[in-house]
Chains A and B, each alone.
Chain A
Amino acid sequence: MLNYIWGGLIVLSFVFALGNDFKDYYSNTYQNGQLREAQLISADQNASAPFKSLLVISTDTLHVLVRPKAGEIRFSDATVLPILWQKIWQESRAKDNEPFRAEIKTWDKQSGNVTITLPEVHFVKLKAITNAAFNTAKTAVELAIGLVGIMAFWLGLMEIAEKSGIIENLVKVVQPILHFLFPDIPKNHPALGTISLNLTANILGLGNAATPLGIKAMEELQTLNDDKETATDSMIMFLTMNTASVQLVPPVTLIALMGVGVGEILPAIILTTVISLAVGVITAKWFAKKHKMAKGAN
């Protein structure tokens, strides 16, 4: 399933990017090649060295740097340009700090009347998906490496907890509850302890503890797995419970974005998350049963 979703996402991105670019091409969204009439207001019309000037185009008056030799105009402050122009600037520049240039096509030095063309813009979305691929690949590594420190810290603590028998004690307490969800985990196995710690960290909203504890639990579950490349029913149940993320305190990101308003929707969040957890657990159970039956039939 994941193979199809993954491949599908990549193929769909290409198809949609191409489709959107063709749409832009046919409707000429970026007005490629269009000549624009404007007027340069300047004291020095015959200079060949670059000079500062004002460009009047329809109702706007813009600060520009005229470079007669290069036959171009550079806009001093691209952020005051019309939105479409800003878009053209963003899509046509090679580097973020590149100035926005327009090419001078005709220039009547007496009246200051000029016609200019803006850079052409092609294949915006195709460029965008390529950039997205490279950038997210980089982000993924940063995310993974960013986990290392906090991971090492919690794994160290968990080693102490294990060696001093804390996990063992914990397992005894949570066993009756978790046995229903994870029937394949043998009695008194440390996996039950780490699973319960992860779920507790999730419930209390301890985000940076929950992930390392969850990974530790996955490692424990992996020791019970015969086929190290294939997920077990217990692993999937555990993963599903984590994606449903039962949480009794508002997520940190929501507090940051919404401020105190979060308090009002907390009951809604908790109720929703409990429903999705229940659906997730039932679904995982159903799938596990179906697979077991299919296996038995063979």
Chain B
Amino acid sequence: MGILAIVVLPFLIVIIPIIGLIRKVAVYEEFVEGAKEGFQIGVRIIPYLVAILVAIGMFRASGAMDFFTGLLKPGLAYIGFPVDVLPMAIMRPLTGSGSVGVLADLIANFGEDSYVVKVAATMFGSTETTFYVLAVYFGAVGIKKTRYAVQAGLIADLASIIAAVIVCSWLLS
């Protein structure tokens, strides 16, 4: 945990009940009332999360990723894209644990200080796992019809992949 989290979190946790007490709120009763919902939300998310994670898990296990990496490599190498970070670019929007694995692999193969790892880490740090966030947030309130949410999320991801390559070549090399 960063220093900020160490300071901010306890402050936030304490300040809310204090203000509640000052403003004569039945803090314990209200806390329990609100917390009640935690379990239902957790359970409500399950079907959405199962659906998304299973599809992505199968896709990863099938070896399709290697095929797409191989397919995209020549073209991307031609325009100067560091092809070694390609697995990260493909994996990042799909799975959080998968992209951690990719990053760990890259560190093992190229070393922490390598340019490839820095670009991959920038990609990793600059977006969330789109499909996971979508499953959790929409699942929690029971949204099935997502309209243009996936498109918007993936376009933002694509932007961050391209931006990571350009920004790194500008700032880090």
Contacts and interface: CB of A to CB of B under 8 A. Distances in A.
Given A1-B148, A265-B118, A271-B167, A243 B136 contact: no
Nearest to A151: B38
Interface residues of A, number: 101
Contacts of B134: 2, 239, 243
Interface stretch (B58-66, B72-80, B81-89): B58-66
Among B54, B123, B172, max chain A CB count under 10 A is at: B54
A242 B62 contact: no
Interface in A255-298: 255, 257-259, 261-262, 264-265, 267-269, 271-273, 275-277, 279-280, 283-284, 287, 291
A287 B1 CA distance: 37
Given A13-B58, A236-B149, A280-B156, A250 B127 contact: no
Contact of A239 (B9, B12, B32, B149): B149
Interface of B: 1-2, 4-5, 8-9, 12-13, 16-17, 19-20, 22-23, 25, 27, 30-39, 41-43, 45-46, 49-64, 67, 93, 100, 103-104, 107, 112-113, 117-118, 121-130, 133-134, 136-138, 140-153, 155-157, 159-160, 163-164, 167-168, 171-172
Interface string A128-158: 1101110111011101110111011101111
B171 A268 contact: yes
A267 B167 CA distance: 9
A235 to B, nearest CB: 7
A257 B148 contact: no
Main secondary structure on B side of the interface with A: helix
A245 interface: yes
A276 B157 contact: yes
B153 to A, nearest CB: 5
Interface in A16-65: 16-17, 20
B57 A218 contact: no
A239 B152 CA distance: 9
Interface stretch (A98-106, A111-119, A171-179, A225-233): A225-233
